[in-house]
Structures are given as C-alpha cells and as structure tokens.
C-alpha cells in the first residue's frame, strides 16, 4: 500500500497581480529564495519560494480573502535572531505563548495571511 511520506509544498492565496509585492516580502523580508515556475504554470501568475526541502507557493485569486486562522508554520533555527532581522526590515514581531517544545511567533504577510514562525527546542 502506498503511504504519504511528507509535504511537498503549501499554497496560500494572494490578490491577483501581486507577485512583486509577494517577492519583496517572501524573498526580501523573510529571505526565502524564489523558485522558477515551470513555463506552463508561470502563465497563471503567482510565485514559488524554497522553504528548506519544501516549497511555499502563492497563487492569485480574483476574490482574494486573507487566511487569518489557517496558516503555514515556517520552521526556523533561531527565532530570536530572526525577529531582530525582521524588525530591521520593518516587520515588528514578538514571541507568542510558547509550546512545551517550541518557541513561536505569528506574523502577517502584506496580504493579511497569517504565518507562524516556529523554532523547535532540543529535548
């Protein structure tokens, strides 16, 4: 029997035509490298970013509504240091209530989508 072995990518929505704003935030602020979309998919717009071994895809929607609850959780190796970098780049963020095994923070992209930043702590 075939089994699911992981997550390849997560896609979130953005307003149609907002690719440059997405690039400025996801690459410029968060530091995620942009990936080249295959030509047959690039005609649809949107933008893809590398996120470790996984990918984060943004796709345009004509009747876009930001995701306030549903969200990707991006794994980071040093949340305190990242929050300093984000502040230097104009994005103020604070620590959220921690989990037993993780530090975390919530930010919002320029479109209002919720993004969780999470640092797993050693056991």
Task: Quick: pLDDT tens for 39-77.
Answer: 999 999 999 999 999 999 999 999 999 999 999 999 999
Contacts 24+ apart (CB under 8 A), 31-34: 31/85, 32/56
Q: Are 118 and 76 in contact (CB under 8 A)?
A: yes
Question: What is the residue extent of each domain of the chain?
Answer: 9-120
d(CA 112, CA 12): 11
Lookup: tokens for 16:
């149609």
Closest CA to 72 of 33, 117, 29, 28: 117
* Global confidence as pTM: 0.92
Lookup: tokens for 86:
């984000």
Architecture of domain 9-120: Roll (3.10)
């Amino acid at each position: 029997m075939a089994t699911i072995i992981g997550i390849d990518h997560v896609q979130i929505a953005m307003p149609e035509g907002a690719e440059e704003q997405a690039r400025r935030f996801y690459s410029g602020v968060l530091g995620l490298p942009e990936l080249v979309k295959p030509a047959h998919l690039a005609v649809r717009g949107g933008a893809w970013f590398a996120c470790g071994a996984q990918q984060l895809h943004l796709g345009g929607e004509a009747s876009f509504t930001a995701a306030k609850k549903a969200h990707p959780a991006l794994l980071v190796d040093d949340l305190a240091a990242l929050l300093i970098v984000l502040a230097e780049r104009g994005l103020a963020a604070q620590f959220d209530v921690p989990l037993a095994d993780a530090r975390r923070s919530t930010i919002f992209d320029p479109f209002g989508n919720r993004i969780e930043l999470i640092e797993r702590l050693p056991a």
